[in-house]
Amino acid sequence: MSTHKSEGSSNDPESGNAPSISADSQDIVAHKGVKLVEATHKVYGKYSKWFLFIGLGLAAYIYSLDGTTTWAYLIYAASEFKDHGLISTIQVAQAIIIAVGKPVIAKVADVGSRGSAYMVVLIFYVVGYIVIASSQSLSTVAGGVIIYAVGYTGLQLLTQIIIADITTLKWRGLVSGLISMPFIINAFVGANVSANVVNGAGWRWGYGMFAILVPTALAPLIITLVWAERKAKKLSLTDETPSSMTFFQKVIDVGERLDVVGLILIGTSVALILLPLTLRRTAKGGWQNPSIIAMIVVGCVLLPVTVIWDVYYAKHPVIARRFIKNRTVAIVCLIGAFDFVSFYISNTYLHSFVIVVKPWSLVNATYFSQTQTVSLTVFAIAAGLGMRFMRRAKPLMIAGLVIRLLGCGLMIHSRGANASDAEIVWSQLLQGIGGGMAAVTIQVSAQASVPHVDVAMVTAVVLLITEIGGAIGGAIAGAVWTGMMPDRLAHYLPFATQAERDLLYGDLRYASLRPRGDPVREGVILAYDDVMKILTILATVFAVLPLIISLFVPNWYLGDQQNAVENKDLSGEKVHNPDVDSPVDETPQSVASRS
């Protein structure tokens, strides 16, 4: 059976064909970081591997504690500066940096090393949080959030890259799920931490303490990685040849390998298109403002420029042509993007909504906001376990997206102030169950469809497109919120002055501190209810799209391979894959590998 196809064609396990790796691709050759990580496997011993696993666990925990606490501080920072409506603008900017930052960090990890990439992540993390904690205006907070976002996205990505380096396909989903287990603990710990910080030391300390915690937590992992990399070099296991390039030539070479131009074009075009959607209400003249129109026009013009650059001029493009032609990568990128559009449309203002609408304490409101995170983590682990025994990802992916859609649809009805608490909690549980199953299956499917040398970048590309979907969802939420909320407040609170309505719009504390039954709070609840109705309907519509697209994703065999293209294990030995191997090619070892 022939297994050869042209470069970039996607592997279709259902047809029994697999792509070959073309040698004429400019950037498919292994970067220094890829060769180095393969060499480090030869120097790790029993104790150093344990240090690696402990370091990964600490990194995962601090990432989780960050993710379950700091998001809650932003609404209080914005309210202190009387600009609660700009939350979506900041979150869109953050989402853009989180998206575009992923291929940057992946390139640093490939061109340099995994250890050096973690050190870059640490610097951005610490500097960003120091800027936020010391800010005197919301614009400074936004600047700090953007700096910190590089570190946050890098920590997430590098953890997944290292997991892909050290696990086979059948175990990868389960390990990826297990590394997220701290989210289960911190859903409760984080809720109490954030509530106590807000009511005690204040939101500034909530950000500032991570400038101390993150370096402490990442130190064991960075030390272990750097030690292994240096030892591998010392033992001449990396086959490095001395470079004859000058310093200037090295700078140019690194810039080309990082595709700095492509990254700037992608980030700028997406930002110029999405940010005006959230800024139009505060900009003088709204859509008639020349600056708003100019931003959107320039952003739209830059999109084809970005494509032209990456296709025809970039030596090492962010999104290589072989990724675009790869059926699996293209499909899972679309699934992730539409899923995140749906999630951020309904979730951007959800915490603010429950604080104003529900008579819950701050701790209970934060518990509710973590409901989806907990269920997502638990069922990502369950899906990983399912892939371990089923050896397939597609059925679990489709099932997850169906459940996610049900959760979105339920939220349309459960959003009301008088809806039962159980109903609104179940809407979040269902979305988390489905989201967890979908997230782990699409990532493993994408990683299965490319050779090891491409795993880091394809992981970054999938997350890049997914996060851009999140930015689009946040921008849509911001556009709906800023466009509707002031008018809805005016409709339900005609007796209030414009200054009072502006305060209610800009500072949720002004409404949430009033008792239920108070005419002002009841009017604000009705306004919030109207806006959330539109947001939940939009979220449900977008949740339909990934389900339809998932029907066309290839159903990869997940066995003892590092990936399903090369069909080699972590030591480089050929292993059996029933999708491409004929029965006569089987050996006792290949049969045993399936058991």
Residues 519-574: pLDDT tens digits?
888 888 899 888 999 999 999 999 999 999 999 999 998 988 878 888 877 666 68
Task: Give the pLDDT confidence of 220-256 residue by residue, as tens digits.
Answer: 988 988 888 788 777 766 665 556 677 788 778 777 8
Q: Both 328 and 295 in a single domain?
A: no
Neighbours of 42 (CB within 10 A): 11
With bands split at pLDDT 50, 70 and 90, how would you rate the model's confidence at 10? very low
Is a pLDDT exceeding 60 seen at residue 257? yes
Domain boundary among 234, 250, 274: 234
Write phi, then psi, for 12 (nearest 5 degrees): -115, 95
Give the global pTM: 0.77
From CA 240, how far away is CA 233, in angstroms rounded?
A: 8
Q: Both 342 and 280 in a single domain?
A: no
For position 48, which CATH number holds? 1.20.1250.20
Question: Does a structural domain hold residue 352?
Answer: yes
Most confident range (mean pLDDT) of 296-310, 330-344, 355-369, 558-572 is 330-344
Of 143, 130, 121, 3, nearest in space to 62 by CA: 121
Range name among 19-33, 161-175, 395-409, 456-470 with the lowest pLDDT average: 19-33
Q: Both 279 and 387 in a single domain?
A: no
With bands split at pLDDT 50, 70 and 90, how would you rate the model's confidence at 505? confident
Name the residue with higher pLDDT: 4 or 403.
403
Question: Does a structural domain hold residue 10?
Answer: no
Is a pLDDT exceeding 80 seen at residue 386? yes
Question: Does a structural domain hold residue 119?
Answer: yes
Q: Both 81 and 156 in a single domain?
A: yes
Q: Provide the domain count of the chain.
A: 3
Is a pLDDT exceeding 80 seen at residue 594? no
Burial of 578 (0-12, 13-18, 19+ CB in 10 A): middle
Is a pLDDT exceeding 60 seen at residue 6? no
Q: Both 123 and 206 in a single domain?
A: yes
C-alpha distances (whole Å) from 81 to each of 48, 75, 302 are 48, 10, 34
CB distance 354 to 365 below 8 Å? yes
Q: Both 163 and 265 in a single domain?
A: no
Residue-averaged pLDDT of the chain: 80
Q: Give the pLDDT confidence score for residue 383 in this predicted structure.
A: 94
CB distance 512 to 356 below 8 Å? yes
With bands split at pLDDT 50, 70 and 90, how would you rate the model's confidence at 275? confident
Q: Both 200 and 227 in a single domain?
A: yes
Portion of the chain with pLDDT greater than 90, in percent? 18
Domain boundary among 184, 199, 234: 234
Question: Does a structural domain hold residue 587?
Answer: no
From CA 136, how far away is CA 144, in angstroms rounded?
A: 11
Name the residue with higher pLDDT: 517 or 237.
517
Counting every residue written for the chain, the total comes to: 595
Of 21, 215, 41, nearest in space to 114 by CA: 41
With bands split at pLDDT 50, 70 and 90, how would you rate the model's confidence at 38? low
Range name among 187-196, 321-330, 406-415 with the lowest pLDDT average: 187-196
Q: Which residues of 164-200 are buried (b: 16+ CB within 10 A; e: fewer)?
A: bbbbbbbbbbbbbbbbbbbbbebbebbbebbbebbee
Q: Both 343 and 389 in a single domain?
A: yes
Q: Give the pLDDT confidence score for residue 33 in this predicted structure.
A: 62
Q: Give the pLDDT confidence score for residue 571 in this predicted structure.
A: 61
Of 17, 13, 15, nearest in space to 393 by CA: 13
Task: Give the pLDDT confidence of 180-225 residue by residue, as tens digits.
Answer: 888 888 877 877 888 888 887 788 888 888 889 989 999 998 898 8
Question: Does a structural domain hold residue 49?
Answer: yes
DSSP 244-299: ---HHHHHHHHHHHHTHHHHHHHHHHHHHHHHHHHHTTTSTTGGG-HHHHHHHHHH
Cα dihedral: 322, 439, 539, 473 (round 10): -60
Q: Both 398 and 525 in a single domain?
A: yes
Portion of the chain with pLDDT greater than 70, in percent? 85
CB distance 150 to 94 below 8 Å? no
Q: Give the pLDDT confidence score for residue 18 in this predicted structure.
A: 42
Q: Both 289 and 362 in a single domain?
A: no
Q: Both 381 and 403 in a single domain?
A: yes
CB distance 410 to 539 below 8 Å? no
Is a pLDDT exceeding 60 seen at residue 14? no
Is a pLDDT exceeding 50 seen at residue 45? yes
CB distance 108 to 258 below 8 Å? yes
Residue whose token pair is 């679309």 = 334
Q: Give the pLDDT confidence score for residue 593 in this predicted structure.
A: 38
- The stretch 461-488 carries a mean pLDDT of 86
Look up residue 209 and give its DSSP letter: T
Is a pLDDT exceeding 60 seen at residue 588? no
Domain boundary among 276, 309, 342: 309
Question: Does a structural domain hold residue 575?
Answer: no
Q: Give the pLDDT confidence score for residue 32 in this predicted structure.
A: 65
Q: Both 516 and 378 in a single domain?
A: yes
Question: Does a structural domain hold residue 434?
Answer: yes
Question: Does a structural domain hold residue 242?
Answer: no
Look up residue 9 and give its DSSP letter: P
CB distance 190 to 68 below 8 Å? yes
Q: Give the pLDDT confidence score for residue 338 in this predicted structure.
A: 96
Range name among 107-111, 299-303, 407-411, 535-539 with the lowest pLDDT average: 107-111
Which residue range(s) make up the domain with 178? 29-234
Q: Give the pLDDT confidence score for residue 4 in this predicted structure.
A: 34
- The whole-angstrom distance between residue 204's C-alpha and the CA centroid of its chain comes to 25
- Would you state the structure tokens that stand for residue 219, as one six-digit string? 């130190």
